[in-house]
Structure formats: structure tokens, C-alpha cells
Amino acid sequence: MNKWLIILYLFFVPVYTYPQEYDETKLEEVLELFAIEYDLTIQIDQIEALIQKPIDLRTASIDDLLLIPGISPGIAENIVSNMKKNEYKSIIELSDEMNISDEMLYILSLCTYISEEKKRARKHYFYARGRSISRLSEIDGFERDKFKGDKLSLYQRYNLYYDGISSGILVDKDEGEKKLNDFMSGFLALEYFNSKLIVGDYSLEIGMGNLFWKSFGSRKGSDVISPALQWGSAIKPYRSSIDADFFRGAAYENNIPISTNNSIKARAWYSNIDRAGTLTEDNIITSIYKQGYFRTETEINKRNAVNEQCFGGSMDWQSKYFTIGATVARIEYDKGLQTTSKSNFNGKDGFLKTVYFISNIKDISLGSEISQDAHNNTGLKIGTQLVKNDYMLAAGFRSYDADFRSPFGYNFGEQSYPSNETGLYFAGTWKKYKTFNVSTYVDFYKSKQQTYYVPFGLRGIDLFSEIWWKPYRKTEMRLRLRYEDKSNSYTDYTLKQKLTYQKIKQAIRLDIRHNVSTRIYLRLRGEANAVLYEKGFDDEVGYMTFFEMGWQPIKFLKIGGRFTIFSTDSYESAIWQYEYAMPGYMTTVPLYGNGTRAYLFLKTAPINSIILTLRATYTRKNNVETLGSGYLETLNNKDIRAYVQLDIRL
Amino acid sequence: MLKEMNTLYQKSLFLLIIFISVTIAKSQGLYYMQFDPVSSATGLTASNTMAYAYNPSLFTNVDVPTLVLSVAPSRFGISELSPGFVMLGLPVSDDFVTAFSGHTVGNSLYNEFSGSLHGAYSISEFMDIGASFEYFRLSIQDFRLDVSYQFHIGANVRISDLISAAVCVKNINGNHYLGGEKTINQAGAVGLGFHIAQDFTFDLGLQVSTMGQSGISLAGLYTVDDILNIRLSALTSPRIVSGAVSVLAIPYFDINLLSSYQDYLGWSNSFGLSVYFGKVDE
């Protein structure tokens, strides 16, 4: 009953005003810069929040700009100093001066404005979103009655902002889950003068992320510069449906000016939340469950397995040229955690401590953070950037003890959690010409101890280059090359032991987008990879090509689709593909085996405040009986899904 | 005795033809592979008009009514494997070209036939799109008669004076013969072509097939005094090298000779004649 009331409510809310619109296909390309093979939902949520409440570049601080995905301290400092020196009337003028890439210009135009533009400085808004995804193919979980709930998948989000006060409620049910509010999240945030208070669900970004960061940060990708020096900006309301790594309670932040160039930023927080996990008969938690699905009896039994309390505070001294700060947090569980995963806490309670600094002097930024976990294991991160109009350089170093446990931290490196890894990263971007630039990075890394997959520790080199060229105003090309040499292991059943080997993966991708007119675009891509094994397996290859078109026949209607053909020898040579599924929702699809994948979408805004998006996807593979695995395994070789989303913005 | 031997011979021949047909084209269409096994998505290195059938958007290059006849006698030394091809391209307007093509291979025992209708349209100075509808029929005497209907689409973008890019998708509707749900043959190709010099072009392509034979192609075309085209090409999977010569014998005719070597099946040759009912732009 509840769900129908909510759906009816979504349809009948009165509408008045103008929605901020963006080109979702362009956003897909832009977001793809931040990562190669990972989820980007958090970044989309953040961009959408900023679209609703954009930042005025005329008054923005570096911390404000760091809220924007893809903006690093060096770039933020450059923007702030350029805005102070010049009387830009538009973001394009700023972009021309700084030689900002098209992608960053696009993000800035969505998330910021200049006071003189007077375009979007709204004092209040209401935003509601409802989304449902239906799997039209039968899957194993329902067929064998493993799922306790019905097939409905429904995501609902409501956000309200009124002159410094913002609030949000998120209610989510995945297919197979029992209740419409299987996951609920909400917040109330107040921002007045220099202080911010959040009650409800929030995330923390502190220092360079050794201890506290949002659940997904930037990954290695074609934005090679900014991730090398990630700098936490603030406490933030939690807006995602990912049921992990957020806090529930209250957080307060105050920026206290001391003099013209000096201020103290203080934060304090308290969180009390039940986490899902695997509980043994001995009342021990052996793992924290972060997938967020509660469909089967086993999954439901993991729910609320352990209570976690976390409280802490931090204090940053911000001066004109540097910021230095320290954070201490205490974490307490009501049951002992004996976890093997290094992304989980180990023990029952303890203090997490960290100190960090960053300096921005002219075009150079340098940051570092050194942290200790509850067992005095150490993590160190150093990053630097040089940001010039014609080129940018970056370097980063990270080293975490093998047993460093930082349950809310984030690592920009080979693993996403900061533990058991030492690495050195170098990157550069040459962007002398507005229509041509080259980016490259190289990352060397090794683990200090064995990992889950590799018994003797892993080592690797990751080399990436991308050339972007815009020969004409309407056409963009992107050529990407990647080389990765990484340890892996296999079990030799004759010797009855695991053996390690090096696996080399080489990949090349060509992506072309052509805007036929303002209403029609074409995009095509070809990608190939080769996987070469030092021993143990035969070498592999993988190929993929897609063809995509979008058309806006009338102002309030967009239609389009993509058709992909792929052929790979196995999952090892899989090719990953981003898809901007719906506004605010992006999926990453690994394509392997031999088959095709297609999707069609329709987006319409019949009146200004309502956007309706429909989408259908179809995946089929040759010579297999089923697709997927586990409970989501289909009963034949096709996977068909339908998506519908309604956005209401007032 | 003689009759039994003939039957045995026919059965062996029948199995061999099926095996080779499947190996070459993985069946269900893709007949152009039998004439030009290293096709070019951009068409920049196309040595004759028949190559446009690979990517229907390339038919916009047909400026005058054009008739193409081609035959590949005794492919890999087998006389029964002699496919024939006919195509008629008709410009309807400056922006739109239509074409018809037909292809057949086999004998009374095993026969493949396809008939296609193509359309290509220039939607801007920089871009062409095209589509084909293909009727495909396979008949095996006293055994089966199968029909499939396939749509192919393609697009071609002139990125600059020096570079073109193209993409085509074969059998986008996923049609298949009866019982072939688990082995649908669909293919896609993306290519990048370069005008290195006025008389030399080359292109790099990626051909992806759901039947597992996917690879990278490379082809170069050298033009001598606008009357002779020489094309060399190679494909990584299946491994094929190919050479073609096209001669504009007199202004309204050209003759095309193509020879290719596949590391698994050996040599194959084809001969083609194009007739232009109008003056071809140089």
C-alpha cells in the first residue's frame, strides 16, 4: 500500500518551476574520466546536489571547490586566484584563461556559476525522484524461492532546500528484498555563517583520506592529475543508496576566522549505527557485509549484526599558504571483530589518529597525511601537483602497513582500501592546445604481505596514456592505451599448492563522438585487449565495438541507444563499459564471452518540472546456457531489464 | 558400386562445403567476406564498389548508376565453392543512394542465396548513414530449407580531410536459422582511415563477431594515375593476407582481381567487373 501512495504522491505533486537540465550522455563521458572500471554513483549524487545548489565562483573558497568531483587542491587554488585577479563574466572566459579541458568546463558549468551570470542562485528547491528497475528475465533467486521479497525494485529520494536548511530522505528496495523501506537514509543539514550541522546520515572527508573518505573516491583513469592529491573538504550529507561506509548521528563543523589569512576549522561528530556482518556462534563478527542486499535468509541474518559507535573531532589551521590539521576518532563495537579483510576493523574498539597538511604556493600543491590505526599500524600518503595553463604534473606516494585497518579510509591506488600497499604514482597532462591534449600516468605498487588472491604478495606496474583530439567543433576523438603487469595466482593441483605468476594486460581503445547537429550525435568505439600469462594459462584476447546514437527530435524529448558487440576469451579479457543508465544512476558492465548488448532510452520533460526517463537493456551471449552467477543467474542466455524514473524538481 | 561412390563423393563434398562455408563466413550472411575477406569499415581502401556492401553507409560514394559482377571460382581449389555476386547501385539524389545486391554459392545439393536492399544517406557534409535489409536462404537438398532476415546498419564520419571513421553492425536484429538461438551470428566493425597522401590511403579496423572470430585489420591502397588501384590487407583472426588490383580499363569499366591467403584454408581468388553508367568523378 505504502509504495502506491508514494508513487501516487510522485505523480500528483503540483509543479511550478524550471528544472536544471544536463546532457546525460556527455556526463557519462565526463564521469568516465574519473575511473576505469568502478562505480561512480557517489560522484553523480554529488554533482546532482551541486546542480541544485551551485557554487558561486566569485566567492568560492578552495574548500568549496573541492566539493566538485575532479577538482584537486591545485586546480581549485588556480581557479580561486584567477577569479580574484580577473573580472570574468562567464565560466567560459575563466576556462579560456586557464585552458580548462572541455570535460572540466562541463562539470564547472553544471556545478558553479559566476554571480554576474545570475543564472541559478536559487534560495529554495524541492526535488523528488522515483526509480524502478525490472528484470524481465527469470533469475535463479526467485526461481528457487531463495529471495524472501517480491520482484519490485524501487528507489525514492526527496530533497528539500530552503535558505541554508537542507534535508533529504532516501528509501530503497532492491528486487527480492521484503520491505519498501529496506534501506532508509535521511539527513537535516543547517548552514549558517561559517558553521554547518548535519543530523542524520553523513559522510566525512578528512585530510587525504587515510582514515575518512566517502565510500568511492576517484580511481585510476584519464583524469590523471587530481586524484594524486585528494583533499577532504568537509562533512557532507549522505545522499547515496549504497548501504555502507556512512555515519548516522550528528556532525558539526565550524570555521572560525582568526585573522585575514588565518582560520580554524573544527569538526566534531558522533555516530551510532548497526552494521551488517557475519556473526558466528561465538558472538564474533568475521566480516562486515557491505553489499547492501538483504534478499535471502542468509543475507537477512547478516543485518544489524553489530553496533558501531564512532565519535571524534578534528581541527585544521588554515592559513594563506597551508593547512595543517589533526583528527582523532574512537570506534567501538558491541561485539569483537575478527576479520581477515583488510578493509574491515579488527578488534572491539580503539582510537584512530591522523595528522595532515597541505600547502598551495603559486602553482604547486603539496600534501601529506600520516595516520595510525587502533593497533598503532601506520599509513602514509604524500601527493603533489604542479598546475600550469599548458601542462600539469602530479606525483603520489602511499605506504600502509600490512595490517593497517582503516574501515572508513580510501586509497587512490591499486586497492581502494588503505592497507597492505606501497605505491608510487607519476602523472602528467599536456594541454597547450585547446583542441589537443595528452595525459599519462604510471603507477608502481606492491603489497607488503599476501593478499586474498595472491599468497606471496603482489606487485605490479600500471601504465596509461590517453590522447584527446577535437579536430572540429563537432567531433572529438579519444585514443587510450593501457598496460598493466600484475601478480596473480593459480592452484597447481599436481603440486597441491598455489603458485604466483605475472599477468600482463594490454588494451587499446578508440572512442569518437560526432555531433551531427545540436540535436543528433553519433558515438562509436572500438576496444581490444590482450592478456598474456607468464605461466599457467593460455594467452587471451578480447574485442568490443559499439555504436551509439542520440536524437532530440523536439525540445522536450530525447531518444537514443547503443548497440555493443563483444567477443572475449574469458572474464580475464573482459572489457568494461560505462552506461549512464538514468539521471543519477550509472552502471558499469563487464562484457565477456561472445555476445551483444543493447539499450534504448527515452527521456522526456512534458512540463518543465517533470522528467520521465525510460530505458530498456538487452544482453545476450552465444554458446552459454545462462548469464550471471549466484542468485542473479538468469535461466537462459538473455538478460532483459526495463528502467523507469520520474524526477520532479520544484 | 559407381552409384555408391558417387553418393559417398557427394556426401564428402557436401560436408567439406559446409565446413568451409562455416569457417569462412560462420554462415548466416556475411557473404562479402567470401570476396573481400579483409573488408574496410571506412571504405577508404576499397578497391572497388562491391566493398561498399560491407558498410551500407559507404554507398553514398556511388555517384553514377553502377553495376558490379563478381565471381570467386573454385575457392581453395574446390570447384563447387564458386560464389557469384551481382550489385546495382542507383543514386536517387545528391544525398541518397539505393542499391540492390544478390549473392549465391553452392550447387543443387547445398545452396546459399542472399538478396539485399541497401540505402545510404548523407545527413551532413561530414557524415553518412546507411542500412541494408538482407534476405538469406540456405537449402540442403532433402534435409532443410532455412530463411533469415537481417538488418545491417552503418555510419561513416569524415573527421578531417585526413581522417575518416566508420562503424557498421551486421544482423542488428539478431535473426537466426531455426534452432540457432545459441549461436546467433552478429558482427560489428569500427575503422579509422587515413589519407596519408593524395594517392595513398590506409585504414585500421577492428572486426568483432559473436562467433568468436574477431580481429584487427590493416589495409593500404595505392592509386597510380587514377587508373590503377593496388590494395594490400591483412586480418589477424582468421589470419588472412590479401592483395587486390583494380584497373579502370576504359572510362566506364573497371576490372578487379583479388587474391587472398588464409593460413588454414589456403588460396582463393576472385574476379570482378564494374560498369559505370556515367562519368566517374576523379
Nearest to A591 by CA among A551, A562, A611: A562
Residue B169 belongs to a domain: yes
Residues 505-534 on A with a CB inside 8 Å of B are: 510, 512, 514, 516-517, 520, 522, 524-528
> Would you say A79 and A186 are in contact if contact means Cβ atoms under 8 Å apart?
no
Confidence label for B29 from pLDDT (cuts 50, 70 and 90): very low
A486: how many CB neighbours lie within 10 A of its CB? 16
- CATH code where residue B206 lies: 2.40.160.60
Interface contact flag, A622 B211, Cβ < 8 Å: yes
Q: CB-based burial of residue A606 (10 Å sphere; 0-12 exposed, 13-18 middle, 19+ buried)?
A: exposed
Helix, strand, coil shares, percent, chain A, to 5:
15, 50, 35
Q: Which three cell numbers stand for residue A110?
A: 553544471
Nearest to A531 by CA among A555, A504, A512, A513: A504
Nearest to B187 by CA among B165, B209, B206: B209
How far apart are the C-alpha atoms of A406 and A211, rounded to whole Å? 6
pLDDT of residue A14: 35
| Residue B168 with chain A: CB contacts under 8 Å | 547
Interface contact flag, A516 B124, Cβ < 8 Å: yes
Which residue among B190, B212, B237 sits closest to A526, beta carbon to beta carbon?
B190
Residue B174 belongs to a domain: yes
Amino acid residing at B50? M
pLDDT of residue A201: 96
How far apart are the C-alpha atoms of A598 and A620, rounded to whole Å? 9
Provide the whole-model pTM.
0.87
State how many domains chain B has.
1
What is the bridge-based pairing of β-strands A195-204 and A247-259? antiparallel
How far apart are the C-alpha atoms of B219 and B240, rounded to whole Å? 12
| Residue B237 with chain A: CB contacts under 8 Å | 541
Question: Computed over its alpha carbons, how large is the radius of gyration of chain A?
Answer: 24
| Residue A596 with chain B: CB contacts under 8 Å | 174, 186, 210
**Interface membership of A565 toward B (CB under 8 Å):** yes
- Chain B nearest-CA distance from A592, in A, is 11
Highest mean pLDDT among A376-385, B5-14, B124-133: A376-385
Q: Which three cell numbers stand for residue A231?
A: 583533499
Interface contact flag, A545 B174, Cβ < 8 Å: no
Nearest to A581 by CA among A559, A606, A599: A599
How far apart are the C-alpha atoms of A472 and B228, rounded to whole Å? 33
Residue B66 belongs to a domain: yes
What is the bridge-based pairing of β-strands A638-649 and A378-387? unpaired
DSSP A463-486: EEEEEEEEEETTEEEEEEEEEEEE
Interface contact flag, A565 B187, Cβ < 8 Å: yes
> Would you say B154 and B181 are in contact if contact means Cβ atoms under 8 Å apart?
no
pLDDT of residue A34: 61
Q: Which three cell numbers stand for residue B49?
A: 564498389
Task: For residue B184, give the chain A residue with the closest CA.
Answer: A622
- Chain A nearest-CA distance from B154, in A, is 9
How far apart are the C-alpha atoms of A30 and A40, rounded to whole Å? 11
**Across B10-36, average pLDDT:** 52
**Across B48-62, average pLDDT:** 89
pLDDT of residue A370: 97
**pLDDT tens, residue by residue, A167-221:** 999 999 999 999 999 999 999 999 888 899 999 999 999 999 999 987 666 778 8
Interface contact flag, B174 A620, Cβ < 8 Å: yes
Residues of chain B with a CB closer than 8 angstroms to some CB in chain A? 123-124, 126-127, 153, 155, 157, 159-160, 163, 165-169, 172, 174, 181-184, 186-192, 206-212, 214-216, 237
What is the bridge-based pairing of β-strands B266-276 and A497-515? unpaired
Amino acid residing at A568? T
Which residue among B159, B182, B188 sits closest to A545, beta carbon to beta carbon?
B188
Which residue among B168, B186, B191 sits closest to A596, beta carbon to beta carbon?
B186
pLDDT along chain A (650 residues), means of 10: 49 37 62 57 72 83 82 83 80 79 81 71 80 92 92 92 88 93 94 90 93 78 86 85 89 92 93 95 92 92 95 93 94 93 92 94 92 96 92 95 93 90 96 89 92 83 94 88 92 82 94 88 93 89 94 90 95 90 83 95 87 94 91 92 91
Q: Which three cell numbers stand for residue B42?
A: 571506412
Residue B179 belongs to a domain: yes
- Chain B nearest-CA distance from A637, in A, is 8
Phi and psi (nearest 5°) for B11? -65, -45
- Chain B nearest-CA distance from A547, in A, is 7
Task: For residue A523, give the chain B residue with the closest CA.
Answer: B167
Location of C-alpha cell 530552503 = A162
Contacts of A594 (CB under 8 A, 6+ apart): A566, A567, A568, A621, A622, A623, B209, B210, B211, B212
**Per-residue CA distances from B3 to B7, B8, B12, B79, B141 (Å):** 6, 9, 14, 21, 18
The count of CB pairs under 8 A between chains A and B is 107
Q: At what angle do helices A102-111 and A24-32 cross, to 10 degrees?
A: 120
**pLDDT tens, residue by residue, A409-455:** 999 888 888 999 999 999 999 988 888 999 999 999 999 888 877 78
Interface contact flag, B159 A475, Cβ < 8 Å: yes
Confidence label for B7 from pLDDT (cuts 50, 70 and 90): low
Residue B281 belongs to a domain: no
Q: Does a cis peptide bond (omega within 30 degrees of 0) precede residue A407?
A: no
Half-sphere exposure of B264 (CA within 13 A, CB side): 10
Cα four-point dihedral sign A290, A293, A297, A301: positive
**Interface membership of A547 toward B (CB under 8 Å):** yes
Interface contact flag, A543 B214, Cβ < 8 Å: yes
Residue B282 belongs to a domain: no
Q: Which residues of A159-198 are buried (b: 16+ CB within 10 A; e: fewer)?
A: bbbeeeebbbbbbbbbbbbeebbbbbbbbbbebeeeebbb
**Per-residue CA distances from A357 to A66, A220, A236, A368, A404 (Å):** 15, 23, 21, 6, 21
How far apart are the C-alpha atoms of A586 and A24, rounded to whole Å? 10
Interface contact flag, A545 B182, Cβ < 8 Å: no
Helix (H) or strand (E) holding A575: strand A575-582
Q: Which residues of B218-230 are buried (b: 16+ CB within 10 A; e: fewer)?
A: bbbbbbeeeeebb
Location of C-alpha cell 537493456 = A617
- Chain B nearest-CA distance from A521, in A, is 11
Nearest to A344 by CA among A284, A392, A397: A284
Range of the domain at B198: 2-276
pLDDT of residue A82: 83
pLDDT of residue A188: 95
pLDDT of residue A471: 85
Residue B73 belongs to a domain: yes
Residue B213, pLDDT > 90, answer: no
Phi and psi (nearest 5°) for A47? -65, -40
> Would you say A460 and A446 are in contact if contact means Cβ atoms under 8 Å apart?
yes
Please list the alpha-helical segments (H only) found in chain B.
2-25
Nearest to B229 by CA among B250, B244, B249, B251: B244
